């Protein structure tokens, strides 16, 4: 019964994705052919963007990735907006998603404040530097930031493909910094019907890695869940559930600081920002409902393939190769 | 596995206040964004930048775009609150300031607990976010 329901939903989602992904690409191609002044009325792209983000929101939930990491490469690749605006709005999209998820995660005690606070301070400080560096490099040479974005997206696609997170990492001895900061806790695992105790190790290394995560999040407007989770889980030894929840909550802090830099610089255009934010949030709500009857693994591989393509397209565009149009 | 410790499994009081503030602020932000965007699209308030001009220039870099559209940077948008496009910034600003407000609750909680490490971390975070929001770092130079 469930399989019979899953197949049409998977097929429907696949078709929807193909149609929606092709819409901006086709429209962009016709616009390029006309050249000079835009051939479309002002409302054309915001409407396409809203539906595009709606599907993106559904896929992001099902693939277990954040909205920002899909939004920036895909919108910069298939829509006529400059990367400066896409990065700024990408951060607002990631911020809105994290703010929406935060209350539930905190109430269920899955997102751990003690773990999030020191990490957030490092990541948010460096995301400001990343955002300023990104805007500076973009002004210096937009192709440079496009190429770096492409390389990062390709790296993220491989990270999502090969990263093997551990449900409950074994931490035999807590290190001194983790102990001093009290980075340990207890959470209730609904699936296993047991309480799980956890503590961190390699805390200093983990904290250092958040410097790089903050820089990348700010520079490319990607959000950073794709990097937060492996560092918390694989490096610091935090259980996967706590890592995922704390990472999502963390984004509400890290992205706030970087988003302000873009917002103050004028990189958030309301005409395209609001359809993006609302579309992705509605899509995420829909995604949670569809998740119960669909095959997330298939969607995850599909999203990784799309990310890989979007990354290669950004690389192609940045290096001026012209292989991918 | 350890025996279930009910007290450790429960979120702290500050965590609950943080969650409630976040939920209320986020919902308010989204509702405000939808209302102000409707006002913008329906033309109830005049726009500072014509939508046709925006769509003709959103493919240009930020510096060129700002010069062409005469759009403000930093907090200058506050002076344009009577314009349909810039009232949308009320929602964006609310989303951006929520975390700072929530951190104030944490500072109070950690201060009462005399947890100086986390009180200091929270104060530093407020300073970092406030610096980012102030526009000192993010605006100017075009």
Phi-psi region of A223 (alpha: psi -120 to 50; beta: other; left: phi over 0): left
Does pLDDT of B117 surpass 80? yes
Buried b / exposed e across A126-164, counting CB within 10 Å, b at 16+?
A: bbbbbbbebbeebbeebeebbbbbbebbbebbeebeeee
Please tell me which of A21-25, A186-190, A244-248, B97-101 the model is most confident about, judged by mean pLDDT.
B97-101
- Burial class from Cβ neighbours inside 10 Å (0-12, 13-18, 19+) for residue A55 reads buried
ipTM rounded to 2 decimals:
0.92
- A63-67, A131-135, A138-142, A181-185: the lowest-pLDDT one: A63-67
- What pLDDT does residue A34 have? 44
Q: How many CB pairs under 8 A join A and B?
A: 206
Is residue A141 a contact partner of residue B42, using CB atoms and an 8 Å limit? no
CB pair distance less than 8 Å for B33 and A121:
no
Q: Pick the more confident residue, B13 or B108.
A: B108
- What pLDDT does residue A210 have? 96
Does pLDDT of B140 surpass 80? no
Does pLDDT of A20 surpass 60? no
Nearest-CB residue to A269 (from B16, B54, B122) = B54
Encode pLDDT of A102-126 as tens digits. 888 888 888 888 899 999 999 999 9
Please give the structure tokens belonging to residue A150.
């492409």
Encode pLDDT of B51-63 as tens digits. 999 999 999 999 9
Nearest-CB residue to A80 (from B30, B33, B58) = B58
Which chain B residue shows the shortest CA-CA distance from A252? B99
SS3 of A184, please? strand
Q: Considering only CB atoms, which chain B residues are within 8 Å of A128? A: 128, 131-132, 137
Encode pLDDT of A263-309 as tens digits. 999 999 999 999 999 998 888 888 777 766 666 677 778 888 888 88
pTM of the predicted model, to two decimals?
0.87
Query: A142 CA to chain B: closest CA distance, Å?
Result: 8
The structural domains of chain A, with segments of one domain joined by +, span 2-32+47-319
Rounded distance between C-alpha atoms, residue A106 and residue B1, angstroms = 23
């Amino acid at each position: 019964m469930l399989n019979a329901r899953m197949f049409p939903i998977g097929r429907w989602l696949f078709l929807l994705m193909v149609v929606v992904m092709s819409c901006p690409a086709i429209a962009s191609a016709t616009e390029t052919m006309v050249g000079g002044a835009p051939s479309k009325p002002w409302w054309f792209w915001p409407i396409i963007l809203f539906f595009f983000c709606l599907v993106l929101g559904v896929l992001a939930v099902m693939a277990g990735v954040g909205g920002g990491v899909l939004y920036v490469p895909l919108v910069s690749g298939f829509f006529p907006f400059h990367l400066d605006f896409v990065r700024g709005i990408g951060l607002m999209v990631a911020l809105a998603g994290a703010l929406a998820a935060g209350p539930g995660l905190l109430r269920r005690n899955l997102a751990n404040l003690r773990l999030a606070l020191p990490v957030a301070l490092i990541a948010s400080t460096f995301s400001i530097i990343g955002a300023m560096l990104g805007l500076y490099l973009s002004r210096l040479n937009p192709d440079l930031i496009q190429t770096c974005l492409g390389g990062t997206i390709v790296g993220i696609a491989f990270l999502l493909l090969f990263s093997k997170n551990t449900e409950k990492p074994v931490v035999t001895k807590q290190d001194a910094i983790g102990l001093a900061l009290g980075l340990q806790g207890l959470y209730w695992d609904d699936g296993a019907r047991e309480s799980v105790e956890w503590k961190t190790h390699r805390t200093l290394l983990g904290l250092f890695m958040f410097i790089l995560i903050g820089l990348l999040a700010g520079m490319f407007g990607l959000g950073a869940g794709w990097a937060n989770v492996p560092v918390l889980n694989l490096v610091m030894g935090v259980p996967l559930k706590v890592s995922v929840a704390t990472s999502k909550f963390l984004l509400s802090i890290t992205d706030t600081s970087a988003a302000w830099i873009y917002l103050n610089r004028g990189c958030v255009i309301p005409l395209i920002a609001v359809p993006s934010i609302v579309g992705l949030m509605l899509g995420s709500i829909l995604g949670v409902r569809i998740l119960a009857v669909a095959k997330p693994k298939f969607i995850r591989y599909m999203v990784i393939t799309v990310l890989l393509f979007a990354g290669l397209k950004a690389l192609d565009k940045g290096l001026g190769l012209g292989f991918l149009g | 596995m350890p025996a279930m410790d009910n007290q450790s499994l429960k979120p702290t009081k500050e965590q609950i206040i943080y969650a409630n503030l976040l939920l209320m602020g986020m919902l308010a932000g989204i509702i405000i964004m939808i209302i102000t965007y409707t006002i913008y699209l329906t033309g109830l308030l005049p726009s500072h930048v014509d939508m046709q001009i925006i769509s003709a220039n959103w493919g240009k870099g930020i510096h060129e775009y700002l010069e062409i559209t005469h759009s403000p940077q930093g907090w200058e948008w506050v002076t344009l609150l009577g314009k349909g496009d810039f009232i949308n910034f009320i929602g964006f600003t609310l989303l951006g300031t929520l975390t700072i407000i929530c951190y104030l609750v944490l500072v109070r909680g950690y201060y009462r607990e005399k947890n100086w490490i986390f009180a200091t971390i929270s104060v530093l975070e407020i300073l970092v976010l406030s610096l980012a929001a102030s526009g000192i770092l993010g605006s100017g130079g075009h």
